[in-house]
Structure 1
Amino acid sequence: MSGHACIVGWAHTPFGKLDNIDIEELIQAVVRDSIAHAGIQASDIDFAAVGVYNNGLNPQGFEAGLLSLHQPDLRFTPAVHVENACATGSAAIHSVMDAIESGRARIGIAIGAEKMTGVPPTRIPEILSSGCYRKEEDNPLGFAGIFGQITQAYFDRYGDHSHSLAQIAAKNHINALANPYAHVRRDLGLEFCDQVSEKNPLVAGPLRRTDCSMVSDGAAALILADEETARALRRAIRFRSRVQVNDFMPLSRRDPIAFEGAHRAWQQALSKAGVGILDLDLVETHDCFTTAEMLEYEAMGLAPRGEGWKVILEGRTRKDGQLPVNVSGGLKARGHPLGATGVSMHVMAAMQLAQEAGDMQLPQAELAGIFNMGGAAVANYVSILERLK
């Protein structure tokens, strides 16, 4: 490899129910805006990766073919479509980094996008079930059903920690108040999140509606460049390390609450970066359900197995805590357009490191960690970012 790739620009649409925009328009918006943010021309881009999960969410496939429709200078630029469940965005980033670090490209663009609300809500669980091992795990509640089972397994082993899950939800909704891109910018309050009610019913197992991320539309993009090129541009956020670790897809083949693949990914990424978890100034992690964030506290090393619930009770991951987690609001409140999520998480972290996070800005942000997963901790991606320029 020719050296670490760097983030030199980005773009992000609002996340939410975006009725008057389709997948093509979402992609074009972030392509245009990220090019402008990086201070480059479309003709400077040598490679593009477009991450869209789709799988029935909209009729337009072959999304990599859409790039040049509104950017004629990309007409002959190599572009690929990638998919890796909810880690699709990170897969797109890795594809571009591979092209840059192998010397095949100098500048590339990674795009993540999804239009989820164009199909009837009743179809969503079935479509999302394709991200689990359907021979054993197919159920009418989709991924909520899977994480309902995971949550119940954790409670059976370590006790009912619904209150801690409610605290995670409340924290992330408070954080999203400062994020202009977030799907839900509303402080729901701990009391509401902690109670089963008509407006906050049980969805699957012990999971309440407030424990589940939203069905969202949206897109995000990163412009990446080799380090030499990045130093000559406006900003440079370097990948100090980046790791992907896969685990068995069927939950029956592993301990469903151990998140071993996630743990290994964190261990490898921290080791390669030469830092410990508490050296980080912030983490953006994959809270598709509040249970996931709790289990990820354990996977990243903030708590031993079975004690992740203590981390939020002690306030250690709040914005003013020992290690702020999901300052952007996370998937829970920022939204979770599947293909866009991994790219969005990197944008949120890069904004902090570049001191461009606006009202979300942390007073100290020099080193950031990102965890994005596909499936129930099947495809596990960890990035450690630092500011180069």
Structure 2
Amino acid sequence: MDLGVNIIGAYHSSFGKLEGETLYTLYEKAVKGALQDAEIEAAAIDGVFVGNYSGGAFNRQENIASYGVNAIPELRHKPMYRTETACSSGSSAIHMAIMAIKSGMMKRVLVVGLEKMTDLDIAGVTEALALATYWPEEGSKSVTAPCMFADLAKGWMKKYNYTEEQLRPWLAQISSKAYTTAAENPLAQLQKPKSAEDILSLPDEKNPMIYQPLRLHDCSLVSDGSAALVLEDATLSSGKSVAIKSFYSAADYLDSFGKSKSDYFLEGAAFAVDKALKGAALKIEDISLAEVHDCFTITELLLYSAIGIAPAGREFEALESGKVFPDGTLPVNLSGGLKAKGHPIGATGVGMHAYIYKQLMQEAWGHQVKDAQRGLVVNIGGSGTSNAVSVLESF
């Protein structure tokens, strides 16, 4: 299947604690940057879709989509929409934009993802992120993302009879891979490589337990940033484009792992990957590289089975074989991932797509995969509650 929708331009800010930036400046730079990269004027845009998790909690600003008019007055009276599916908000905006083009109502669309998280202290960030849980039974009882993904790690260890001592080196390899690839990405938040041995040898005060068995170096970052894409109907596209071959978004139970859904396998992600690959008439072996959701190192580890590159219960084989490293057969998170590139929630999914787009255009930010032809994006919102997957292909 060919959706007939192409990416023709992308923008990606630096991710990190961006002093002097606001939600508004991040938005403005994103839309202008994407239009410049696509080499088109704002007048050619039919609509704007914005992924933003919680401008209200982080910045006291809901209703952010229409700020596109303030950023570029030529967009006045164009339709603008905001999507929110927790950490997959940006990918949801992309998927909505694709549907708008496929409907025939729009031909060219701007997609923006943005979040400004560092204006709040850690307590404020924790409270804002807890709004993505099932509030009556989780957020209101101080259940946070580290708690939920720690439960996933514990469920996996229990199911397959592994100890924390066995798990830690595998998670350290994932962290190390993220730090090392991020050091090559000029847009990444963290720029200092670390080996797995460096991480494992840290004293507890340098790598404290956040929620057992997850430690500080197993967790993604609190970040600011924005990213944007220009999508258009393929009948309009020039040679400077990458096709979105297929996409799928699989919703799952709002509550945490181990209640109504598995606590040892990422069922929603696996379902969405299977649908997206079949929609593109491809197998995982056809994919050149992948950007997957490593909100915690355990998430990336379990995504190896969800995307089909290692058996469930033996996900570490993807690490031990070298498959997911930069010179492997399916490099994963060459950007540095959420772990080291950064995780400004609403910008994450758009940033993942932008990174794959640049790889397929042979214009990578950082490590370039030689002759990359197809890329996979796997972006998860909440505790596996929103699973957004896209397959991209170069011409």
Task: Give the structure-1-normalised TM-score.
Answer: 0.96
Displacement of 1:197: 2.4
Task: Give, in whole Å, the separation in 2 of the partners of 1:376 and 1:317.
Answer: 23
Task: Give, in whole Å, the separation in 2 of the partners of 1:2 and 1:314.
Answer: 33
1:64 aligned counterpart, secondary structure: coil
Displacement of 1:316: 1.3
Task: Give, in whole Å, the separation in 1 of the partners of 2:271 and 2:45.
Answer: 33
CA contact (8 A) 1:2 1:102 kept: no
Equivalent residue letter for 1:242: F
CA contact (8 A) 1:16 1:218 kept: yes
CA contact (8 A) 1:3 1:226 kept: no
Could you list the runs of 5+ residues in structure 1 that have no partner in the other structure? none
User: Relative to 1, partners in 2 of residues 1:3 and 1:187: Cα closer, same or farther, differing over 3 Å?
Assistant: closer
Equivalent residue letter for 1:115: K
Alignment of 1:13-24 (within 5 A): 13-24=13-24
Equivalent residue letter for 2:37: H
CA contact (8 A) 2:3 2:244 kept: no
Displacement of 1:237: 0.6
Residue deviations 1:79-118 (CA, integer Å, cap 9, x gap): 0111110000011101111111111111001100000001
CA contact (8 A) 1:244 1:382 kept: yes
1:253 aligned counterpart, secondary structure: coil
2:53 aligned counterpart, secondary structure: coil
1:308 aligned counterpart, secondary structure: coil
CA contact (8 A) 1:65 1:79 kept: yes
Alignment of 1:316-355 (within 5 A): 316-355=323-362
Work out whether 1:152 is the aligned partner of 2:154. Answer: yes
Displacement of 1:311: 1.4
Task: Give, in whole Å, the separation in 1 of the partners of 2:26 and 2:306.
Answer: 33
Residue deviations 1:306-355 (CA, integer Å, cap 9, x gap): 11122112221000012100011110000000000000000010000000
1:370 aligned counterpart, secondary structure: strand
CA contact (8 A) 1:89 1:342 kept: yes
Using the aligned pairs only, state the percent identity.
Answer: 37
CA contact (8 A) 2:27 2:71 kept: no
Q: How many residues align?
A: 386
Task: Give, in whole Å, the separation in 2 of the partners of 1:227 and 1:65.
Answer: 27
Work out whether 1:74 is the aligned partner of 2:75. Answer: yes
Displacement of 1:3: 4.4
**Matching residue of 2:92:** 91
Runs of 4+ in 1 over 4 A off after TM superposition: none
Which region of structure 1 is more displaced relative to structure 2, 250-259 or 17-26? 250-259
**Matching residue of 1:201:** 208
**Matching residue of 2:255:** 250
Displacement of 1:359: 3.4
Displacement of 1:220: 0.1
Work out whether 1:122 is the aligned partner of 2:127. Answer: no
Task: Give, in whole Å, the separation in 2 of the partners of 1:135 and 1:188.
Answer: 40
**Matching residue of 2:246:** 241
**Matching residue of 1:260:** 267
CA contact (8 A) 1:15 1:182 kept: yes
Displacement of 1:157: 2.3
Task: Give, in whole Å, the separation in 2 of the partners of 1:3 and 1:383.
Answer: 11
Alignment of 1:209-288 (within 5 A): 209-230=216-237, 232=238, 235-251=240-256, 252-288=259-295
Which region of structure 1 is more displaced relative to structure 2, 119-128 or 318-327? 119-128
**Matching residue of 2:46:** 46
Which region of structure 1 is more displaced relative to structure 2, 140-149 or 279-288? 140-149
Which region of structure 1 is more displaced relative to structure 2, 362-371 or 338-347? 362-371
Equivalent residue letter for 1:357: A
Task: Give, in whole Å, the separation in 1 of the partners of 2:23 and 2:194.
Answer: 30
2:290 aligned counterpart, secondary structure: strand
Displacement of 1:358: 4.7
Task: Give, in whole Å, the separation in 1 of the partners of 2:76 and 2:103.
Answer: 23
Task: Give the structure-2-normalised TM-score.
Answer: 0.95
Task: Give, in whole Å, the separation in 1 of the partners of 2:57 and 2:181.
Answer: 32
**Matching residue of 2:175:** 169
CA contact (8 A) 2:255 2:383 kept: no
Displacement of 1:120: 1.5
1:275 aligned counterpart, secondary structure: coil
Displacement of 1:135: 2.6
